[in-house]
Amino acid sequence: MSQLENKTFDQKITRRDLIKIFGATAVAASGIFGASSQAFAKSAAHIVVLGGGVGGATFAKYLRFADPDVKITIIEQDAEYITCLRSNDVIAGMHTLDELTFNLDTIKNKYNVNVVIDKVVGADFDKKTVSTAKGERFSYDKLVVSPGIDFKFEDYEGYDAELAEGEFPHAYKAGPQTLKLREQLLAMPQGGTAIIATPQNPFRCPPGPYERASFFAEYFKKHNPTAKLLVLDPKDRFTKDVPFKKAWERLYGYKSDNSLIEWVSGSEGGRVVRLDTANMMVETDGDDFKADLINIIPNQRAGVLAQKLGLTNASGWCPIERNTMESSLHKEVYVLGDSSIADAMPKSGFSANSQAKVCAQAIADTLKGEHPGTAIYSNVCYSLAGENYGVSIAAVYEVRDGLIQPKGESAGVSEITDKKAQPILEAVYQKNWQREFVKDVFS
Amino acid sequence: MKTRLLISAFAFTLAQPVLAEGQNPMATGSAMAWQCAPCHGTNGQEFLEAMPPLAGMSVEQFTKAMLAYREGTRPSVIMDRVARGFTDAEIDAMAVWFEKQPLKQWENTSLTEANAAHQSAQTQATGGQK
């Protein structure tokens, strides 16, 4: 990714390049030489998708539903994709990484999508081409970018990507760091202290750090009952904080003298500014905290690819047209998922899946020369506050006054009730949802 | 060709209800139904999990359930919140679309079958007009 260059390609696209891209028959049959781009788009438009994660894979599948003829290519650097969603379960030992690992075989075979495992190194928005590390060049009619997130290590003195790969994993992209954090949790001394430092808004999976905190507490309750977790937060509120804190009270003695979790808000000096690896200590606005395990989940911005392609604004995220997900900065380039600025929608896998469907229909409509239909988005996030205790947030969204906003009276979090079955049911639904969701994305 | 375009444009105008200022025209049945997939399966065709499959559900059953969730007369975990995001007409459009989807697990459904079901639902929704 660091090799990425935002380069303009001066070379002409030769017939051979086109044959390489579309195959000899396509070039011969469509007779695109000399035809207007409009005519070409109508006969066999080529949509190139950068990133084969939740956004990219869902997009390709649903574009095939919306348009049986369009040519679709996904360029993804990894042959296998590990979902970030449910990776907290791996830390708690409820899932293995293998169970969260998927590939694009069904997308390729069932939905007739060209899958290229390669790294994108540049794009030319004027000539509408993308080039890769292996020296391939792809021409597109529409480019769809779904690049996930990048971390702002520079917000923390003494922390960097290398430390994250070593003894201080953030584990906020699923992979080896997830396993490392599990190993560290299991190796904690009896009665030890762990720190989870949560990021500033906006960030991927807003309930993620708090679900992770819950799992640490549940692990302590079972295996290390005198240990303690400190959640250091730069914010005074977090998503689903009311049902999360109620669950912590019910399960982990939150607010009592023997609480397994202590949450330090931004106002109380919870914002971490420095990591001292030698002394196993973090410094916040208010104090220094020593611990046996330190998990900093850094502040975030749009994925590196989005930055390098010039799709981000001063906020570090990608502005989009709300009805189509088309970049506000570059025509015919679309941004999906965590990287996009989607207003009230959280940066979740569910949101990326939802946005991918809206974008697929909008592109199909546009290619037919029709005005894209009304966008409708949704998000449902189930989190676990314990293995058998779920909390949820849900909303349906529409575009209103130029922003993506909750539609009707749909937005809301789990009600606090005395019904014992409710959080258990939410946990059951969470597990059902995870299995179903990945099928909607990858199969 | 030109005449045909004019006619369909005219039909489209007729089909649209009068909208208050700032109000969006309704999304299509399929666009709304796609949003149900993460929990209920692609095209509502998930028969193996706790959330009920929506494919093949009768219009009446779907509509009654959604209205009861929305009005709070049917207990639920999250469906009350979801249902409050939809108007009567939107619920009806989703119901019509789901009723036409095949009663089988998505993984065993071909793209051809899915396309045929979608076309059939579209035809139903537009009263035979394309």
Which pLDDT tens digits describe chain A residue by residue (443 residues)? 333 333 333 333 343 443 344 343 343 333 333 333 443 444 789 999 999 999 999 999 999 999 999 999 999 999 999 999 999 999 999 999 999 999 999 999 999 999 999 999 999 999 999 999 999 999 999 999 999 999 999 999 999 999 999 999 999 999 999 999 999 999 999 999 999 999 999 999 999 999 999 999 999 999 999 999 999 999 999 999 999 999 999 999 999 999 999 999 999 999 999 999 999 999 999 899 999 999 999 999 999 999 999 999 999 999 999 999 999 999 999 999 999 999 999 999 999 999 999 999 999 999 999 999 999 999 999 999 999 999 999 999 999 999 999 999 999 999 999 999 999 999 999 999 999 999 999 99
- The pLDDT, as a whole number, for residue B127 is 72
Q: Which residues of A touch B77 (CB under 8 A)?
A: 392, 414, 422, 425-426, 429
> Is B5 inside any structural domain?
no
Higher pLDDT pick, A43 / B58? B58
**Length of chain A, please?**
443
Q: What is the CA radius of gyration of chain B?
A: 16
Q: Which domains does chain A have, with CATH numbers?
A: 15-150+302-373 (3.50.50.60), 154-298 (3.50.50.60)
Interface subset of A 363-422, CB within 8 angstroms of B: 373-378, 380, 392, 394-401, 406-412, 414, 422
Query: CB-side exposure of A273: number of CA atoms within 13 Å?
Result: 8
Among B26, B41, B82, beta carbon nearest to A410: B82
Q: What is the CA radius of gyration of chain A?
A: 23
Q: How far apart are the first and last CA of chain B?
A: 15
Q: How many domains does the structure of chain B reveal? A: 1
> Is B91 inside any structural domain?
yes
Q: B8 to chain A, minimum CA–CA distance in Å?
A: 13
Interface subset of A 50-89, CB within 8 angstroms of B: 61-62, 64-65, 68
pLDDT band per the 50, 70, 90 thresholds, residue B21: low
- The pLDDT, as a whole number, for residue B129 is 53
CB contact under 8 A, A353 and B38: yes
* Distance between CA atoms of residues A203 and A438, nearest Å: 21
Give the residue numbers spanning the domain of B110.
Answer: 28-125
Closest to A205 (Cα-Cα) out of A90, A355, A396, A345: A345
> Is B40 inside any structural domain?
yes
Q: Are A47 and A70 in contact (CB under 8 A)?
A: yes
Which amino acid makes up residue A423? Answer: P
Tokens at residue B21, please? 């200022």
Residue in A closest to B69 by C-alpha: A410
Q: Identify the CATH number of the domain in which residue B108 sits.
A: 1.10.760.10
The rounded percent of chain B whose pLDDT value lies above 70 is 81
For the stretch B66-123, pLDDT in tens is: 999 999 999 999 999 999 999 999 999 999 999 999 999 999 999 999 999 999 998 8
> Is B19 inside any structural domain?
no
Strand partners, A76: A117
Among A412, A428, A439, beta carbon nearest to B50: A428
Phi/psi at B112 (nearest 5 deg)? -60, -45
- Would you state the torsion angle of the CA atoms of residues A308, A107, A384, B66, taken in this order, to the nearest 10 degrees? 110
SS3 track for A165-205: HCCCCCCCCCCHHHHHHHHHHHCCCCCCEEEEECCCCCCEC
Q: Are A146 and A57 in contact (CB under 8 A)?
A: no
> Is B70 inside any structural domain?
yes
Closest to A194 (Cα-Cα) out of A249, A261, A287: A261
SS3 content of chain A, % helix, strand, coil (to 5): 35, 25, 40
* Distance between CA atoms of residues B116 and B102, nearest Å: 10
